[in-house]
Structure 1
C-alpha cells in the first residue's frame, strides 16, 4: 500500500524520499557479490550522470563494462573517477553516437563477444528541433531508432542476455505520437523527450517478443540530479534540488535488472525494482494497431 501511494503521489515516489523508504526492504533482494564476474555489459551515454552511475554499479558486481560515448577523449576523466570508485574495474571506452545509424552499424561490428547486459541510457533534449545525420528528429534517433538498431545488430550476442532501456516518468504525460518525427506541431523540447520515452515503453513488449528469450525491460529512474537535467531543465532542477535522487539511487533499478537472478518477467516497465503501470491518464491509452504501426515505422526508419 505504501509503495502504491508513493508511486501515485509522483513527488514522493520519484524523489529521494521514495527511494529511501522503498530501499529499506531491498537488502535481501540485492544481487550477490560478483554476480556479473566474467560477463560483459554495454552502457550507452556512460560519460556522466545515470550512465556513469550504472557503469559503476555493474563494475562493482564484476562486469567488464563498455562505456559508449560520443567523444572518447572526453571520457578519460570518467574512467579515472570510476577507477577511484571501483579500483579493480575493467572498463573499455567505445566511441559511438547512438543517433547516427551509420556509426551504430560500425560500432556493432566491433562487438563480437557475448553480451550479458545492453543498457540504452544515452539521452538528449535539444532546445530546437534537430536532425540526426540520417535526417531523423534527434530525440527519436537517440532514444528509439539507434537503440533498436544496435539491439538488432547484437541480437546473436544477446541471446542469453538482457536489454534495458532507461525511460522517464515524464512519458506518463504523453500519448503515443502519430507524428514521431515531430514535423507537424511547434517543437517543445520536454514534450519531444517525453514522447520518445513513451515510444520506448510502448514498444518494449513487442521488442521482448521479438528478441525472446532475451530479457527486455524499460525503467524510469525517478528524479535524479544529472548534468543533462540541469542543462535541459534548469528551473525544474533548482525547484526540486532538495528532492532529487543521486545518480546512484536513480541507476539502482537498472543495475538490479541487469544482475538479479533469476530473470525478472520480460517486457515490462519498472521503477524502484517493481513493475509499474504504463498509463495513469486516459488520454495516453493507445491501441495495439497504433503500437504495431509505430513499431513498423521505427524499425523501417532504423534500417532494420
Structure 2
C-alpha cells in the first residue's frame, strides 16, 4: 500500500480503524514477519487476558511459540478462556496469574513472585466505569488500571525486561482529549466513563517516550487496535457497537500490531505510538497538544502516586 493511501485511511478514521483498513494494509505485510516459532522459549505477560483483545493477543503470542502468562482479576472465571486457548494451541504453555492491576499492592505482590527474563509485557487490561470509581489506594479507576498499575508493574519488572519489550494497548479515542495535567484523577466536572477512558489513554501515549527514556534499552511502545468487536466495547458502548458492527475488526485483527511489536525481528525505534504496524501521529487537533513540561509534570505525579 502507498504511504499516501495509508495516511488517508488513518486521517479519515472510519476506513482506517475498521476491518477495511486492516484488510487493505495487511496485503502489503510480509507473510514471514513475525517468523514462525520466533517466540519459542520466551515468556510473555498479557494483562486483561480473559477475553477480547487480551485473549486474542495471548493466542497470537502462543502461535509463535511463547509461554504466555494470562494476568486476570479473577482466576476462577478464566477456565473457559484457558480451555479455548489450549484447544487452539495444544502445544503451547499458558499460565494463569491473578492480579488486579488497578490495585498497587496486588501489583507489588504479583511482581515479587515472578522470576526469569520476560520477553514481552503487554498492558492490555482495561475498564470503563459508568460512574467515578476508586481503586483500593483511592485513585480514579481508569487512571489506576491504564496508567498507575502498568507503570508500577513495568518498573518492578525492569530487571526482567532488560532485553524485552513493553506494549501499552491504548485507544484512538485519546485523539479527542488533551493531557489532564491539572486533574489526572478526574475529580472536577461531570464524570463520563468514555471521557475518563480516553483521558487515561492520552496519558499512556504522552508518557510513552518518557518511559522509554527511563527504561532504555528496553523497547517501549503504545498502540491502538482500531475498532474491534470485544465484550468490553459491547458492554461499555452498546449503541456504538450496534451501529458499527458490520465494520468492526475481529479481536485477532485488533491485536495484530501488539503481537507484531512483541515478535518482529525488525529493529524498531522505541517510545512511539503505533497502529497497523506503522508509527502514527499522537495528535490531530491543535487543542490537544501538550508541552514537554506538562508531560514531565504528569510523569512526576504518576511516580509519586505509585511510590517510584
Scaled by the length of structure 2, what TM-score is found? 0.98
Distance in structure 2 (CA, Å) of the matches to 1:29 and 1:223: 26
* Helix, strand or coil at the partner of 2:106: helix
1:140 is the counterpart of 2:143: yes
Quick check: 1:215–1:263 contact (8 Å CA) kept in 2? no
Tell me which of 203, 206, 209 is aligned to 1:205: 209
> Is 1:39 equivalent to 2:37 in the alignment?
no
Q: Tell me the secondary structure at the aligned position of residue 163 of structure 1.
A: strand
1:9 counterpart residue number: 12
Is the CA contact (8 Å cut-off) linking 1:55 and 1:65 kept in structure 2?
A: yes
1:45-194 equivalence runs, <5 A: 45-177=48-180, 178-194=182-198
What is the alpha-carbon root mean square deviation over aligned residues?
Answer: 0.7
Structure 2 Cα separation of the partners of residues 28 and 50 of structure 1: 22
Give the Cα separation in 1 of the matches to 2:281 and 2:265: 23
- What's the CA shift for 1:27? 2.7
Alignment partners' CA distance in 1, 2:70 and 2:17 = 26
Deviant stretches of 4+, over 4 Å:
none
SS in 2 for 1:80: helix
Q: CA deviation at 1:263?
A: 3.3
SS in structure 1 at match of 2:228 = coil
Residue 21 (structure 2) pairs with residue 18 (structure 1): yes
Give the number of aligned pairs. Answer: 304
| Cα deviation, residue 29, structure 1 | 5.7
The 1-side partners of 2:268 and 2:38 are apart by 15
- Which of 270, 279, 282 is the aligned partner of 2:283? 279
Shift of 1:119: 0.2
Deviation at 1:262, TM superposition (A): 3.1
Q: In structure 2, the residue corresponding to 1:157 is in which secondary structure?
A: coil
**8 Å Cα contact 2:33-2:265 kept in structure 1:** no
> Contact between 1:129 and 1:187, CA under 8 Å: does it hold in 2?
yes
User: 1:253-291 deviations in whole A, cap 9, x for unaligned?
Assistant: 000000001331100000000000000000100011010
Name the residue aligned to 1:299: 303
Alpha-carbon distance in 1 for matches of 2:31, 2:73 = 37
2:227 to 207, 223, 226: 223
Q: CA offsets per residue over residues 24-75 of structure 1, 9 Å max, x none?
A: 0113462110000000000000000000000000000000000000000101
Q: String of CA shifts for 1:167-207, please: whole Å, max 9, x gaps.
A: 00000000000200000111011000000000000000000
Stretches of structure 2 that go unaligned for 5 or more consecutive residues are none
Task: Tell me whether 1:263 sits opposite 2:290 in the alignment.
Answer: no
In structure 2, C-alpha distance between the alignment counterparts of 1:185 and 1:138, rounded to whole Å: 16
